[in-house]
């Protein structure tokens, strides 16, 4: 019998908790349960990193917009008249009202419904009624947010200086993604699921298949062999592993013949814009995320000579992952809502001309991942509840959980970088710059 | 394009935020979103100022009471046997139970339902069962709250020393209000609306008509010309302004002939009991707040020779406003519930003998303001959400928003006065006095 | 008229509030309303004391378990293969997931549903898939919680060193309880009621019958004479008191003839495991807690020659009370959920062979206490609301509320003991021991 639990550890400052983190183990409880870390995660991670926000397919035409909530921020992403995606804080420069209050729509100008201040889709203040002489509209444009698109995926960065490695990331993943034509796809379905867990538990859960026995539906088409080397494969999975080896060899041949990049590139904890990409086979029919592995959509995303392309898997820090098959793509984004609540948004993309009912059945298209999401929501909620006990102590990761460790490494390095920055100095500089700009505005 | 947003301002103490407030601009975010300011606002504003709480018409007979919640306080306002309105904290002196748990009712004595301690309507403890010898009931009367009535309106003050300027306020507004007979009116309707915004946003919204294009129903009878001088009137309102000028001239003649005071008295940010009062015309039929401007109630509030009296508008700091027409009065009170939730109570008064169905139709009576309230709830909720973004920065008021600025000036001066008081010294003195009283009780 | 309320007392540290507590009076507001005291109560009281958790009857067979939430802790109580009750923290040693997520059930092993780590009912880690070489399962057993049973009642203690006086408590109360055969009883009913009050108000309410006029149903069978000496009995209860004296004399004769211990033992504020036990008559038929005092269950708990045994009353600090009659037992446990929310669990035990419908009617069995619970929930919610007002000041207990004072004395002494412990030193020692154990595990 184990000794009874010691008293809870004394309350520690985030910096101390970060510095005393034990590698190879889950984080201490405050990282997952405290409001202080929730705020810190927004500030140090979500307001600093490139965040996957949406598919370009959600904004097909000029004037189309979506609103994206990232922690306490609300951002408008809008396609401008030059067909670029731009982004702005969704906050009126008059008295701060949220301007666009729907999740998506289409506008000519961006008009605040409170006092009718009117902005162009480039953020310029075009009209503000009844102002005093000397009021200079050019000082009151919408505040911009950095926006980038890569092969049909929209990324935002709230920081004044976004991580500079985005270009490298983009040029690495673009050749993998481009053949799937995502900029010209359409949204077939989108679901929002609120998980009762810290966002990091949601991400950690995504980064291992050690729990995949809990996903019987997913396991039909998806090889649950994540991160296993041959000698680590547990006995129960040896037959599956043999089947994977055969499918993998066949898939590589196909990828080579079609010129599709497939090699794993793994930069999960080695850079601010951490990612991993690889093209891999699927089980059964090998075409898609369905119960028998056959394509869910007759009309493929591109003119592929075969649907049997397995899937392109892309993992991004801090908040997204993607599975792109020949017939459809599934995009997952994660947004913290509170220390113990997290939004998981799942978006299914199909060819723009694929018709529901004719080319695909919605339940078949979404069944595997919708079911898997629901199962994961149960798992992470249990983790959150358990970690909330003062009896919780960090436990060891299994070797097959190495991407969980990568995620935690990346996360901890982001916190360290943030906490080591002389925040006060930085803000002083910014505030000074801001005051100067204000004075110039007057 | 504007520069990306600087990092959020460093967390600042309330005193710093108060002292660095920029005139002519909306307040910084913490004033509207932080729990710290919510508590400070209760302590510095709502527990110090005279608060409009109810109409006398809600307490017509001796023993009639209402319970009024002001932040964490619950107050009993009761008409005593001498027909005066008195007020007490709704807290039993035994073990602290809330005594009266309904919103209103009628009592002989005030009896706590827990252990049946029984108090008179003058607050005296009349009976407490099974006490030890030496128990002195005279030490355990209900704690009093200051109460005053002015022309049918009930005001409370939770402070030990209420603002001394109440008499001046009362003597100024009484002649305006008295002709409408409110002490002898009856409550025709009362609604409670919870707005998802800080109470100051609710008040600020009330203090400008810059947003009145969002109130098409109200704009039919109400001139949306609030604070515009002739040369500031925007082109779209010039016809309306001309109509207002004609109606105003006619109304002044009527007021003069009837001896009704009408001149604006504006003391919004110049005293603890800040207010503004003025009698003004209404549009269309000019009689009342209805879709065509005709009186909603056949039986007028008093024996006026005409219903065409426009409305008497009274604005009070911190939490109320009033519109009194010939046929009915509408009273609005605002109570903070949380940093981001506010109760707006609206009370419609009509002549005591006016009969629903015969003399007035309830939907016609309440339609304009009930609709306007709902619209305002949407506006202020959008403001609250936008201000919650770290991207919010205070923006400039338009000249037509001068009463918003007055409200904010008044509010900031109240906070300054409170923060500058040597609170510790004051409390020490009070606690010493309290201990002395307790010792005397023994 | 009383003087208006002084300003609220300055915020004080828990240690100051504890040390300035005025005997004979209710506690100051922060004890009941602040989150700080909620956490302190869990740490100093609920994680240090023996807590009544369940009836043994809830775990009749090996493998039967219940999960018990105590503040942020979740505990598994399970009957092991030797038929002993053992307890473990319900937290997986891998990544902290809550293992058992139902309130009760039966298991062979204790299996975490997330990654299938498998523990025996003795807490040993039996299996963890895919671990690296060198992983030592013996280091990752479930963390134990102290568990004890006394005459059919299950007690838990979360502290490393439980109060040593439990044996004395057990040997004192066991002879009173044993004749009622509770280990072999069955659960006839169990209700969970969430009261909107601090847990201490729930306990204080239980510890006096000064409010029993509010329980007309209970007063039919239960003598509401709690703590009254003859000369203190109020006039309205004198007839009742005379009836009590006769019933008491008769009951004592019965207890003597049957060899049932009945004398009061009162140790409510004199030891860590504070309690009071006494056997007393009931009114009317004198057999049970029913509207006419007759037994609710035909089959008695044991082979008593008469059902007219009144009830055995047991009061425990911090969180339980019990009423055991000849035919059934009612067990009450109290668990804090938040500063202002408390769970009251009520469990009715009857003879294992008593059949619902034949031997007892469920509504008759549960009616009196279910109704009383609902009434108490209203009372304590009013107390919580009143105490939340800044106008609340501690008031005096009546002599009949002496057990309330005992509870508060006990509680305050627990806080003092906790606050006086050199917590930092203790934790350092524990953490050092823990690190040593971890190093040994490696």
In chain A, what percentage of residues exceed pLDDT 70? 93
C-alpha distances in Å from residue C254, one per residue of C284, C298, C305, C309: 16, 20, 10, 7
Q: What is the CATH number of the domain that holds A273?
A: 3.90.380.10
pLDDT, average across residues B78-107: 98
Task: Kindly state whether residue B398 falls inside one of the protein's structural domains.
Answer: no
Q: Give ipTM to 2 decimals.
A: 0.92
Please give the distance of CA C164 from its chain centroid, rounded to a whole number: 18
The pLDDT of residue C436 is above 60: no
Kindly report the average pLDDT of chain A as a whole number.
93
Give the pLDDT confidence score for residue C232 in this predicted structure. 81
Distance linking the first and last C-alpha atoms of chain C: 73
Give the pLDDT confidence score for residue B177 in this predicted structure. 98
Chain C contact set for B96 (CB, 8 A)? 26, 29, 383, 386-387, 389, 392-395
Sheet holding B118-119, edge to edge: B110-111, B118-119, B125-127
pLDDT, average across residues A295-308: 98
Which distant-in-sequence residues (6+ apart) come within 8 Å of A438 by Cβ?
A139
Give the pLDDT confidence score for residue A428 in this predicted structure. 57
Kindly report the average pLDDT of chain C as a whole number.
93
Give the pLDDT confidence score for residue B371 in this predicted structure. 98
> Residues of A numbered 376-405 whose beta carbons fall under 8 angstroms of chain B's beta carbons: which are they?
none
What chain A residue is nearest to C145 in terms of C-alpha separation? A4
Task: Kindly state whether residue B418 falls inside one of the protein's structural domains.
Answer: no
Q: Which helix (H) or strand (E) holds B252?
A: helix B238-258
Strand intervals (E) in B213-319: 265-267, 275-280, 311-316
Q: How far apart are CA B178 and CA B182, in angstroms?
A: 7
Give the pLDDT confidence score for residue A100 in this predicted structure. 98
Q: How far apart are CA C396 and CA B358, in angstroms?
A: 55
Which two tokens mark B23?
Answer: 């005139």
Give the pLDDT confidence score for residue C235 in this predicted structure. 87
Give the pLDDT confidence score for residue A234 in this predicted structure. 86
For residue C130, give the nearest of A8, A214, A400 by CB distance.
A400
pLDDT, average across residues B268-296: 97
Give the pLDDT confidence score for residue C410 in this predicted structure. 98
The Cβ-side half-sphere exposure at B221, using a 13 Å CA radius, reads: 24
Give the pLDDT confidence score for residue B433 in this predicted structure. 54
Q: Any idea how long chain A is?
A: 442
B225-250 per-position pLDDT tens digit: 877 888 888 888 899 999 999 999 99
Task: Kindly state whether residue C236 falls inside one of the protein's structural domains.
Answer: yes
Q: How far apart are CA B117 and CA B97, in angstroms?
A: 10
Give the pLDDT confidence score for residue B441 in this predicted structure. 45
Task: Kindly state whether residue A348 falls inside one of the protein's structural domains.
Answer: yes
Give the pLDDT confidence score for residue C77 in this predicted structure. 98
Task: Kindly state whether residue A162 falls inside one of the protein's structural domains.
Answer: yes
The pLDDT of residue C423 is above 80: no
Task: Say which residue the tokens 């109704």 belong to.
Answer: C371
The pLDDT of residue C322 is above 60: yes
SS3 B15: helix
pLDDT higher for A359 or B423? A359
Q: Give B119's strand partners.
A: B110, B125
A20-38 per-position pLDDT tens digit: 999 999 999 999 999 999 9
Give the residue from C108, C106, C70 showing the smallest Cα distance to C90.
Answer: C70
Distance linking the first and last C-alpha atoms of chain A: 73
pLDDT, average across residues A392-402: 96
B77-92 per-position pLDDT tens digit: 999 999 999 999 999 9
pLDDT, average across residues A111-140: 96
B293-351 per-position pLDDT tens digit: 999 999 999 999 999 999 999 999 999 999 999 999 999 999 999 999 999 999 999 99
Chain B contact set for C394 (CB, 8 A)? 96
Give the residue from B218, B181, B214, B170 showing the smallest Cα distance to B316.
Answer: B170
Give the pLDDT confidence score for residue B426 in this predicted structure. 56
Q: How far apart are CA B147 and CA B54, in angstroms?
A: 11
Give the pLDDT confidence score for residue C2 in this predicted structure. 39
Give the pLDDT confidence score for residue C234 in this predicted structure. 86
Give the pLDDT confidence score for residue A314 in this predicted structure. 98
Give the pLDDT confidence score for residue A432 in this predicted structure. 56
Confidence band, pLDDT 50/70/90 cuts, at residue A7: very low
The pLDDT of residue C197 is above 70: yes
pLDDT, average across residues A9-17: 81
Give the pLDDT confidence score for residue C432 in this predicted structure. 56
pLDDT, average across residues C215-223: 95
Chain A contact set for C91 (CB, 8 A)? 386-387, 389, 391-392
The pLDDT of residue A342 is above 60: yes
C185 with C288: CB under 8 angstroms? Answer: no
C230-275 per-position pLDDT tens digit: 888 888 889 999 999 999 999 999 999 999 999 999 999 999 999 9
Please give the distance of CA A233 from its chain centroid, rounded to a whole number: 29
Confidence band, pLDDT 50/70/90 cuts, at residue B5: very low
Chain B touched by A127 (CB under 8 Å): no
Which two tokens mark A346?
Answer: 């799942």
Which two tokens mark C355?
Answer: 């059949």
Give the pLDDT confidence score for residue B439 in this predicted structure. 46
Within A178-302, residue ranges assigned H as helices are 199-206, 216-221, 238-258
Q: What is the value of pTM for the model shown?
A: 0.93
C180 with C351: CB under 8 angstroms? Answer: no
Within B322-422, residue ranges assigned H as helices are 362-387, 402-420
What chain A residue is nearest to B385 in terms of C-alpha separation? A98
Tally of structural domains, chain C: 1
Task: Kindly state whether residue C19 falls inside one of the protein's structural domains.
Answer: no
Q: How far apart are CA A272 and CA A413, in angstroms?
A: 9
Cβ within 8 Å, pair B114-C383? yes
For residue B26, give the nearest of A96, A98, A143 by CB distance.
A96
Chain A contact set for B26 (CB, 8 A)? 94-96
Q: How far apart are CA C379 and CA C215, in angstroms?
A: 11
C-alpha distances in Å from residue A287, one per residue of A221, A248, A296, A354, B185: 9, 13, 9, 17, 78
Chain C contact set for B91 (CB, 8 A)? 386-387, 389, 391-392
pLDDT, average across residues C295-307: 98
For residue B72, give the nearest of C213, C234, C388 by CB distance.
C388
Task: Kindly state whether residue B419 falls inside one of the protein's structural domains.
Answer: no
Q: What domain range includes position C272?
A: 51-387
Q: How far apart are CA A365 and CA A375, in angstroms?
A: 18
pLDDT, average across residues B154-177: 98
Task: Kindly state whether residue A275 falls inside one of the protein's structural domains.
Answer: yes
Give the pLDDT confidence score for residue A233 in this predicted structure. 86
């Amino acid at each position: 019998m184990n000794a009874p639990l010691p008293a809870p550890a004394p309350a520690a400052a985030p910096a101390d908790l970060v510095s005393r983190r034990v590698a190879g183990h889950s984080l201490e409880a405050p990282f997952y349960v405290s409001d202080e870390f929730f705020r810190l995660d927004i500030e140090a991670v979500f307001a600093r990193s490139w965040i996957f926000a949406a598919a370009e397919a959600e904004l097909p035409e000029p004037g189309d917009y979506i609103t994206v909530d990232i922690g306490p921020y609300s951002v408008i992403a809008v396609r401008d008249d030059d067909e670029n995606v731009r982004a702005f804080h969704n906050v009126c420069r008059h008295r701060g009202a949220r301007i666009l209050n729907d999740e998506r729509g289409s506008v000519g100008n961006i008009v605040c419904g409170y006092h009718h201040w009117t902005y162009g889709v480039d953020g310029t203040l075009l009209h503000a009624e009844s102002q005093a002489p000397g009021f200079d509209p050019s000082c009151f444009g919408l505040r911009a947010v950095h926006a980038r698109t890569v092969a049909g995926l929209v990324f935002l960065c709230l920081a004044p200086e976004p991580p500079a490695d985005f270009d490298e990331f983009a040029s690495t993943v673009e050749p993998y993604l481009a053949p799937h034509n995502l900029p010209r796809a359409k949204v077939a379905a989108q679901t929002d699921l609120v998980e009762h867990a810290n966002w990091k538990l949601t991400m950690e859960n995504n980064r291992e298949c050690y729990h995949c026995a809990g996903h019987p539906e997913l396991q039909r088409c998806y090889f649950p062999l994540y991160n296993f080397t041959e000698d680590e494969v547990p006995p129960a999975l040896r037959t599956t592993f043999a089947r994977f080896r055969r499918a993998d060899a066949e898939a590589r041949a196909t990828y080579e013949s079609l010129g599709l990049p497939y090699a794993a590139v793994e930069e999960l904890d080695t850079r601010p814009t951490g990612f991993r990409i690889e093209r891999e086979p699927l089980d059964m029919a090998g075409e898609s995320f369905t119960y028998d592995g056959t394509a869910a959509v007759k009309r493929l995303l591109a003119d592929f000579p075969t649907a049997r392309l397995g899937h392109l898997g892309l993992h991004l820090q801090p908040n997204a992952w993607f599975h792109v098959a020949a017939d459809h793509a599934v995009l997952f984004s994660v947004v913290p809502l509170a220390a113990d609540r997290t939004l998981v948004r799942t978006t299914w993309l199909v060819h723009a001309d694929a018709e529901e009912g004719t080319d695909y059945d919605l339940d078949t298209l979404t069944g595997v991942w919708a079911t898997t999401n629901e199962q994961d929501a149960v798992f992470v909620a249990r983790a959150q509840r358990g970690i909330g006990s003062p009896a919780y102590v960090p436990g060891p990761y299994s070797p097959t959980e190495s991407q969980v460790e990568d995620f935690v490494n990346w996360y901890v390095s982001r916190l360290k970088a943030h906490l080591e920055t002389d925040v006060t100095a930085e803000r002083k500089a910014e505030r000074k710059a801001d005051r100067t700009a204000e004075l110039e505005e007057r």
